[in-house]
Chain A
Amino acid sequence: MAPGRRGEGLLTPALIFLAVLAAWEALTRLRDIKAYILPSPSAIVRRLQTDWPTLASNFQVTLAEMLLGFGLAFVVAMTLGILIAHSPAIRRGLYPFVIASQTVPVIAIAPVLIIWFGYNILPRVLVTALLAFFPLTVNTVTGFQVVETELVNLFRSLNATRAQIFFKLSLPTALPFIFAGLKVSATHCVIGATVGEWIGTDRGLGHLIVLDTAQLDTPRVFASIVLLSLSGIALFLAVSVFEWIALPWRHGHAARRPLFRLLSQRILRSRKTMAAISEKEA
């Protein structure tokens, strides 16, 4: 294991980010670009500070829509994914509609949702879920379909029940795909919540962006964008952390054990393990 790897992996993007910020700042100052056309990074940060109460209260609303939409998308996608993967009849009957749902422009359907469900959080959550459920559904279906026939046969030869095959074979096989889908969905949630707020609401960062754009308050538009982007990144990272915990076998050779068991383990065993590894590698 190279301990420096992780640090190096972060260093390069951090340097690039700083370089871009510096160039941006320099450009706006040297060419004297007006703030309503392109605000400098420092102006955006200042705006984040001065308008924090307004931004924060709107951010809360958007964040709630994102998370609720993400949750709804997760429930719908898992249900659909499992049904589609396990029943050819449902696959033939439902999958075309799942795909068709993605060809309907979300911006076009959002006003209709408001007519149906009124001026409340529900239409925005639905728009978010509508954007987020698709990648997760497709990945879930794929995950359940890549289960090897030979492994199913092994389980069957051991007289496993359908439930055992699902929970001990299909689900663990599908999990890496489900997490891949969740990561894409997480980023879609930001788009869904923002776009949902462009139509028919008086709250949220999406709504604030519409207002500020009309008043050429570009620095605050950028401040909103920064917050939206950060929340998307945070959601993505949250999924990644959860994946790291749920799939230990994807990134390590040995199982992580709970601390209390780890302490009770004799040091001897780990010595033996190290010896065995070096033997294997030699």
Chain B
Amino acid sequence: MPSGAVELSVEDLYCSFRDLQGHPLPVLAGISLSASENEFVAIVGPSGCGKSTLFNVAAGLVLPESGSVRLNGVDIAGSPGHVAYMMQKDLLLAWRTIADNVTLGPELARKPRSSYRDRALDLMRRFGLEGFEHFYPSALSGGMRQRAALMRTILCDKSLLLLDEPFGALDALTRAAMQEWLLDIWHDFRRTVLFITHDPEEAVFLADRIYVLTSRPARVKGIVPVSLGRPRSHKTIATLQFAQLKRQVLDLVWDEGADALRGRLGPEGPPAAGASRENR
């Protein structure tokens, strides 16, 4: 499905915050990754490794110290509004109906209401929200709220979607259904997707390529191309090929987990953070 043309390229990204004592806390330490047009890229990493910071930088919310984020060749670091960003929580506005929530993007972009309203109402069925257009988010189940949030993200009409653990808070059954449904939607709408998850199985099931990150400060630990055919369904999960790919990702993740544990227990921590860590 990916056409080969590089859409997003992140190069040598460095980013750090200050901890409570004011010491610099490196979060991203030279991350490079790319995504081709219409490619589904998953990013797997231990929790707290800086995945969300990576997305905040790509969305233009956080300025990196160095490195570049290029979308179709244009540097977009520090300038928001170029990509569609869906965060972990559904972040639906409680005082807006579903129809008004999903059209937030075009509304804030000051597009004429007629240009998006009917399209949104037409798409409700596709997103499993038919009949709930004029309901407030409080009336919806977790899965429906997440579908509404994804619909809002897609209706922003950006070619690149950043999805930050969108199904993290859902129960296992809803989650599995949502994954299949997401692939359906992705097939229909043709977008480039960056998808953060901490679940290797989810990554293999969804992605064309998987980046495994190290624990903080995050670097790219390894890249796993997913050669599984499409369309994929729950039956795909039971194949040998799926298991092997999952194993490959897990090995990288476990390896990283073991490294991180050693680093934390042993006397030699990461050199930059070592001094401040011993003070605590």
Give residues in A with beta carbon < 8 Å to B. Answer: 148, 150-151, 153-160, 164, 168-169, 172, 175, 247, 249, 252-255, 257, 269, 272-273, 275-277, 280
Whether A276 contacts B131 by the Cβ 8 Å rule is yes
Q: Tell me whether B136 and A159 are in contact (CB under 8 A).
A: no
Contacts of A154 in B (CB 8 A): 85, 87, 91
Tell me whether B141 and A159 are in contact (CB under 8 A). no
CA distance A157 to B134 in the complex (A): 25
B156 within 8 A of A: yes
A249 touches B136 (CB 8 A): yes
Is B174's CB within 8 Å of the partner chain A? no
Asked if B109 contacts A150 (CB within 8 A), the reply is no
Nearest-neighbour CB distance to chain B for A101, whole angstroms, equals 32
- Sample 30 A-B pairs with CB under 8 A, ordered by A number: A148-B91, A150-B91, A151-B91, A153-B87, A154-B87, A157-B61, A157-B80, A157-B85, A158-B104, A158-B108, A158-B156, A159-B81, A172-B95, A175-B95, A247-B95, A249-B136, A252-B136, A253-B135, A253-B138, A253-B139, A254-B134, A254-B135, A254-B136, A255-B97, A255-B136, A269-B131, A272-B130, A273-B132, A273-B135, A276-B130
Q: Are A157 and B131 in contact (CB-based, < 8 A)?
A: no
Residue contact B80 to A159, C-beta cutoff 8 Å: yes
Q: Judge whether A155 and B108 touch: CB under 8 Å.
A: yes
Tell whether, in the assembled complex, residue A249 and residue B108 are in contact, meaning their CB atoms are under 8 Å apart.
no
**Residue contact A159 to B95, C-beta cutoff 8 Å:** no
Contacts A150-B87, A155-B108, A272-B130 given; does A255 touch B93 at CB 8 Å: no
Min CB gap A257→B, angstroms = 7
Bound complex: CA of A267 vs CA of B94, how far in Å? 26
Asked whether A158 lies within 8 Å of B87 as measured between CB atoms, the reply is no
CB nearest to A273 among chain B residues:
B131
Other than the given A158-B80, A276-B132, 15 more pairs (CB < 8 A) read: A153-B87, A154-B85, A156-B61, A157-B59, A157-B83, A158-B81, A158-B105, A158-B109, A159-B80, A169-B93, A249-B136, A253-B135, A253-B136, A257-B134, A273-B132
The answer, yes or no, to whether B60 is at the interface (CB within 8 Å) is yes
Contacts between chains A and B (CB distance < 8 A), count: 76
Q: Beta-carbon contacts of B144-156 to A below 8 Å, as 1s and 0s? A: 1000000000001
- Measured between beta carbons, the chain B residues less than 8 angstroms from A159 are 80-81, 108-109
CB distance from A166 to the nearest CB of B (A): 13
> Is B119 in contact with chain A by the CB < 8 A criterion?
no
Closest-CB distance, A271 to chain B (whole angstroms): 9
B147 nearest CB across to chain A (Å)? 13
**In whole angstroms, how far apart are the Cα atoms of A177 and B144 in the complex?**
28
Residues of A within 8 A of B192 (CB): none
- Write the chain B residue with the least CB distance to A148: B91
Residue of A nearest to B99 (CB): A255
Instruction: Tell me the residues in window 103-133 of chain B with beta carbons closer than 8 Å to chain A beta carbons.
Output: 104-105, 108-109, 130-132
Chain B residues near A269: list those with CB within 8 A.
131
List, in ascending order, chain A residues with CB within 8 A of B131's CB. 269, 272-273, 275-276
Q: Which chain B residue lies CB-closest to A265?
A: B134
* Given contact pairs A150-B89, A168-B108, A157 touches B138 in the complex (Cβ within 8 A): no
| CB of A173 to closest CB in B, whole Å | 8
Q: Please list the 9 inter-chain residue pairs (A to B) with the smallest Cβ-Cβ separation, ordered nearest first.
A: A159-B81, A253-B139, A276-B131, A157-B85, A249-B136, A272-B131, A157-B59, A273-B131, A255-B134
Return chain A residues, CB-CB under 8 Å to B85: 154, 157
Bound form: Cα–Cα A164–B61 in Å: 17
Minimum C-beta distance from B148 to chain A (A)? 13
A221 to B56, CA, bound (A): 66
List residues of chain A with CB within 8 A of the CB of B91.
148, 150-151, 154
Distance in angstroms between the alpha carbons of A175 and B109 in the assembled complex: 24
Q: Give min CB distance, B91 to chain A, whole Å.
A: 5
Residues of A within 8 A of B132 (CB): 273, 276
Q: A158 to B104: give the CA distance in the assembly, Å.
A: 9
Q: Give min CB distance, A243 to chain B, whole Å.
A: 13
> Is the CB–CB distance between A249 and B134 below 8 Å?
no
Neighbouring B residues of A148 by C-beta, 8 Å: 91
* Whole-angstrom CA separation of A164 from B94 in the bound complex: 17
Q: Which residues of chain A are within 8 angstroms of B136 by Cβ–Cβ distance?
A: 249, 252-255
Docked complex Cα distance between A143 and B108 (Å): 23
Bound Cα distance from A151 to B104, whole angstroms: 12
A155 to B96, CA, bound (A): 15
Q: How far is the CA of A269 from the CA of B135 in the complex (A)?
A: 12
